[in-house]
Amino acid sequence: MKRIDLYKQKLKAAKAELPMRQRQYNSAVRHLNKTVATIYELEKKIDHLAKH
């Protein structure tokens, strides 16, 4: 097998994998943002309660 054929196969596989990895990335970003927002809200509530 020629090197160019190998590279073409690898490129095809990488392009097929891209949408799956993009979904995983988007999901991870959503979960991270949700966790950061939860931490912020809890810290805000704790600060509010500590002042009273």
Q: What is the mean pLDDT of residues 14-23?
A: 98
HSE, CB side, 13 Å, CA atoms: give it for residue 49. Answer: 6
Query: In this model, does residue 22 exceed pLDDT 90?
Result: yes
How far apart, in Å, are the Cα atoms of 44 and each of 16, 30, 31?
44, 21, 20
48 is written with which tokens? 């509010």
How far apart, in Å, are the Cα atoms of 36 and each of 13, 16, 26, 42?
35, 32, 15, 10
Read off the pLDDT of residues 30-40 as tens digits, 9 standing for 90 and up. 999 999 999 99
How far apart, in Å, are the Cα atoms of 48 and each of 37, 40, 52?
16, 12, 7
